[in-house]
Structure 1
């Protein structure tokens, strides 16, 4: 089932996404949740931090799972997914280290590291909620065009568009050699999937995700086949559909 919601502004969109996270925790305080790093979720994080400070959101029992990471980077590296999430969400909320599951993208054996994440997620019973942004090439996490829908955590070869767009997270030109990411099958098996998008630049990719052919060449199209997918966008990101 695909639920499509349009909000007038980014702020309204961010509050709506935060509502989904909070309602998940209210229903299941020990939920397993995956939230993305980057620019799109920053407003959602601000809202979740505010609600936490007001006593309206309790993260003390949940498990947070990191979505992806650039190969060779860790939590102290500016621009890494871990660093952005620590700064924008995990540290302000006060997550304990035992509540957090992240890829070690510096591991000597990255394939074994992906298997570690797969096993840990299986032991946790899978994801109750995953919130995602969408790439300009339709990627979800670092699942680039052509990734099998049946893929669990894996090492990803980055699309040139991802390498180019990824530079915005760094102060200077940065060589990105690859990534590790939760797989598209993790996303399909999540009990609820939320896809967020903001801004006119995302309008064509949102239109293709919800109305285009379901194909591995455009990973975000899988939302059409998810059992409980919510696509939440602001008016600008919906402009190709209105």
Structure 2
């Protein structure tokens, strides 16, 4: 595992974009595993700039996202599909049919978990998986528990996660309380992992990557990945 400290969020975003762009240039039809939340916004903005400057071609790229809220349709402004369309997919030349997220509005969530796991497996798992990290150590929506979950599954969100996400909703009661997420086992199948974290995550980054591997800090499992990089911003 490599841990890289940079001076600012801007440098973090530029470096993360460098790594992702390198993957796309190396393998134009690569599978990118993508994440949502505030951490990757700068990275996506950097990728858009490179596309607009003629430096990147996403036309053959396939993407899979980690997670989605249960109960939200893809056109809901709070859904992760909407987030990805707004911040990346609608701004580059990726084929929208090649961008995949779990369906949070599926009538049968157990069946949707199986469908999404099979879809990601059929693509060959991500060549590069981008991750953020929650203040409680979650990756995707794998919350602290007594065991690691391997497969795509549904999860009830912790109070701390609901509170952290409430800033994005008009009313706290509008925040979904459950989600569908790729499991830790699925995340570990990515060929390369890139985790980005702002200065406010320094404490949990230390716990996750300097402490023991434990499902109580889900991100700690990345210590066991064969090719994991963490970029941490000092400010």
TM-score class normalised by the smaller sequence: over 0.9
1:180-226, Cα deviation, whole Å (9 max, x unpaired): 01111111110000110012x21110111110111011001012111
* Residue aligning to 2:60: 61
1:147 to 1:62, Cα distance in 2 relative to 1, 3 A = farther
1:75 partner SS: coil
Question: How do 1:31-180 and structure 2 match up within 5 A?
Answer: 31-146=30-145, 148-173=147-172, 174-180=174-180
Distance in 2 (CA, whole Å) between partners of 1:3 and 1:105 is 34
* Residue aligning to 1:182: 182
Q: Which structure 2 residue ranges, 5 or more long, are not aligned?
A: none
Q: In the alignment, is residue 196 of structure 1 matched against residue 196 of structure 2?
A: yes
1:196/1:233 contact within 8 Å kept: yes
- The 10-residue stretch of structure 1 (204-213 or 147-156) with the greater mean CA deviation from structure 2: 147-156
1:95 partner SS: coil
Distance in 2 (CA, whole Å) between partners of 1:147 and 1:135 is 17
Q: Which structure 1 residue ranges, 5 or more long, are not aligned?
A: 237-242
Instruction: Give me the CA root mean square deviation.
Output: 1.2
1:15 partner SS: helix
Deviation at 1:142, TM superposition (A): 0.5
* Residue aligning to 1:7: 6
1:175 to 1:41, Cα distance in 2 relative to 1, 3 A = closer
1:94 to 1:169, Cα distance in 2 relative to 1, 3 A = farther
2:188 partner SS: helix
* Residue aligning to 1:239: none
Deviation at 1:19, TM superposition (A): 0.8
1:41-63, Cα deviation, whole Å (9 max, x unpaired): 11101100000111111111111
2:33/2:66 contact within 8 Å kept: yes
1:74-131, Cα deviation, whole Å (9 max, x unpaired): 2221222111111111111133221111111111111110111111111111111110
Distance in 1 (CA, whole Å) between partners of 2:128 and 2:136 is 23
